[in-house]
Amino acid sequence: MFKRLLALLLAAILACAVVPALAVNEVEGELTIWVRTNETGRESLYGIWGNQPGDPYYDYLKEQFPNLKLNFVINKGWGDIAGAAAAGDAPDIFFIDGNPDILLPQLLNQGLMEPLNAYMENDASFVNNFVPGVLDAMTVDGQLYALPFDVMPYGIFVNYDVLDSANVDYPELNWTLAEFTEMCKAVTNKSDPANPRIAIARNVIENDYIRFLTMFCAIYGVKGYGINAEGKAYSNLSEDPNAITAIEKYMELQANDYAYTLSQDERNVAGLDNSVWNIDWKAGIAATFPGVSSWALIKDANGDPAFNQVFYPAFSGDNGEAGGAPMETISYAIYAGSKNKELAWAYLSAMTSEEFRNNASAEYEGETVHIFKYDEDTTGFTFGLPPFTTEYELNDAFAKLYNGLYASMQTPYTLYADQFNLLEATRKVARGEASLVDALKEYDNFVNANNTVVFPE
């Protein structure tokens, strides 16, 4: 019962603003908070925030903040904040959903984010045990602008059951590109079309292709831009020999049959459903799936892993080059124009704290449920990973996933690129329509002419 309930809640709730038992219950006032929920069409329990009597967290909120009125607005985030500010309808706290390296410059250029350093320094109760790399991604010129709630690091899921069926040894977490490639070759077997075994399950969602490509760029230190004589950043992939090498390596792996996911025709022969976006992975016939956080975790009816899935950080280079992958977060920031900044800090620091993870609970169908608590009995994920340096004691199934996720969180890497046009450039090369250098020149010219990428200042 508990596992079923927990799985339901975790699948439905991406983040919620609930206050743990901290020494902030003396605060008085009113806050408007934009909170993250599900925008992808799956069922959501909208009442979880405790807006009114009968909602699961209402009594808990009132106990902790008896004199604080909280106005929650669902599914409005960083993309809406500029318009809301112009209309005089901005919140006190808003969420940022995505790669902070990419999003923060856009928000800061519009003067929408309050720097948080002074609040932390003046708050004796603030305990900072966030992963340093996560906070670094939210820091610009020495100023921190957001606090993380959930972290979604990218890496590669590995299906140990497929490796077992191919008699392939499990790789170490600190693997290299060469080891990843050799594993891909060893597991692939399409000799029986009705029961294939493939190396990489590709996502039909375009974003995951560019995130996989970023792992190759990280090895070669490719950031996607250069600085011209006037000190201005510009797209320079066609001029960067390391970028050309990284993309060649990516395309080589993608083009080989051992790294090839099943076509629609091959899925039909194997009896698989082409309408399912991750069917090669979900069906348990793929050895790996480049993905993010818990999104690719396949669970059974009880909320447990459906097969032996382990998360690996991005591979490193064969000559010792550091690996890395994109990292996305759900983070919360204070609107720079808020008239309640001190009160907003008291609430923001509470809702993103580890005390929240440990203490926030709800009564649901007669049971007390700690949705965000990570402990030895946990088998489910929230939307992402807790952003803390804590060493959790976890059961075997969860530890295999968490250890790789945590390792990925230490090495975030950002490729500044126009993802759809860059991927189209690689497709032109694959179709024989252009050389890689020429395709990248066309890409660079488009980005620089249309400003489709926001480069760091």
Both structure tokens of 152: 């979604």
Question: Side chain identity at 84, as an amino acid letter?
Answer: A
Domain residue spans of the chain: 2-152+327-400, 154-325+402-409
Q: Are 120 and 377 in contact (CB under 8 A)?
A: no
Q: Are 360 and 149 in contact (CB under 8 A)?
A: no
Confidence of residue 118 (pLDDT cuts 50, 70, 90): very high
Q: How far apart are CA 17 and CA 36, in angstroms?
A: 9
Greater confidence (2 vs 243) lies with 243
pLDDT at 443 over 70: yes
Q: Are 55 and 45 in contact (CB under 8 A)?
A: no
Record: fold of 2-152+327-400: D-Maltodextrin-Binding Protein; domain 2 (3.40.190)
Question: Side chain identity at 442, as an amino acid letter?
Answer: E
pLDDT for the residue numbered 41: 30
Question: Side chain identity at 174, as an amino acid letter?
Answer: N
Kindly write down the DSSP assignment for every residue of 152-216, as one continuous string.
Answer: EEEEEEEEHHHHHHTT-PPPPTT-BHHHHHHHHHHH-B-SSTTS-BEEEPPPSSTHHHHHHHHHH
Helix axes 207-219, 419-430, angle to 10 degrees: 80
pLDDT for the residue numbered 383: 59
Helix axes 207-219, 241-255, angle to 10 degrees: 130
**Which range among 42-56, 86-100, 400-414 shows the weakest confidence by mean pLDDT?**
42-56
Parallel, antiparallel or unpaired: strands 139-140 and 93-98: unpaired
Pick from 52, 39, 360, 417: which is nearest to 236 by CA?
417
pLDDT for the residue numbered 288: 93
Confidence of residue 432 (pLDDT cuts 50, 70, 90): very high
pLDDT at 297 over 90: no
pLDDT at 262 over 70: yes
pLDDT for the residue numbered 188: 93
Alpha carbon of 321 to those of 29, 217, 220, 302: distances in Å?
Answer: 52, 11, 7, 41
Parallel, antiparallel or unpaired: strands 68-74 and 29-35: parallel
Element (H, E) at 348: helix 341-351
pLDDT for the residue numbered 13: 33
Report the residue count for the chain: 457
Q: Please state which CATH number belongs to domain 154-325+402-409.
A: 3.40.190.10
Greater confidence (67 vs 158) lies with 158
Pick from 203, 213, 164: which is nearest to 282 by CA?
203
Helix axes 78-86, 100-109, angle to 10 degrees: 10
DSSP alpha helix (H) spans, 203-291? 207-219, 241-255, 264-270, 279-282
pLDDT for the residue numbered 12: 33
Confidence of residue 166 (pLDDT cuts 50, 70, 90): very high
**Which range among 13-17, 26-30, 190-194, 374-378 shows the weakest confidence by mean pLDDT?**
13-17
Element (H, E) at 388: none
Q: How far apart are CA 110 and CA 81, in angstroms?
A: 10
Q: How far apart are CA 436 and CA 144, in angstroms?
A: 39
Confidence of residue 214 (pLDDT cuts 50, 70, 90): very high
Greater confidence (109 vs 302) lies with 109
Pick from 373, 179, 201, 375: which is nearest to 296 by CA?
201
CB proximity list for 23: less than 8 A, separation 6 or greater: 125
**Which range among 87-96, 396-405, 430-439 shows the weakest confidence by mean pLDDT?**
396-405
Greater confidence (141 vs 368) lies with 141
Alpha carbon of 49 to those of 73, 152, 386: distances in Å?
Answer: 10, 22, 19
Pick from 193, 194, 198: which is nearest to 162 by CA?
198
pLDDT at 23 over 50: no
Helix (H, G, I), strand (E, B) or coil at 55: coil
Parallel, antiparallel or unpaired: strands 198-200 and 286-292: parallel
Q: Are 76 and 94 in contact (CB under 8 A)?
A: yes
Please report, rounded to a whole number, the percentage of residues in the chain having pLDDT higher than 70.
82
Q: How far apart are CA 264 and CA 317, in angstroms?
A: 33
Confidence of residue 157 (pLDDT cuts 50, 70, 90): very high
Helix (H, G, I), strand (E, B) or coil at 456: coil
Q: How far apart are CA 161 and CA 307, in angstroms?
A: 7
Helix axes 419-430, 241-255, angle to 10 degrees: 60
Mean pLDDT of all residues in the chain? 82
Confidence of residue 178 (pLDDT cuts 50, 70, 90): very high
Q: How far apart are CA 97 and CA 383, in angstroms?
A: 12
CA angle, corner 13, sides to 7 and 17, nearest 5? 135
Rounding to the nearest 10 degrees, give the CA dihedral for residues 238, 239, 244, 245.
180
Question: Side chain identity at 378, as an amino acid letter?
Answer: T
pLDDT for the residue numbered 28: 81
pLDDT for the residue numbered 363: 64
**What is the pLDDT averaged over residues 401-428?**
90
Do the domains 154-325+402-409 and 2-152+327-400 match in fold? Answer: yes
pLDDT for the residue numbered 142: 93
- Which pLDDT tens digit goes with each residue over 364-381? 667 776 667 777 655 455
pLDDT for the residue numbered 76: 78
pLDDT at 172 over 50: yes
pLDDT at 58 over 60: no
CA angle, corner 25, sides to 20 and 28, nearest 5? 125
pLDDT at 44 over 60: no
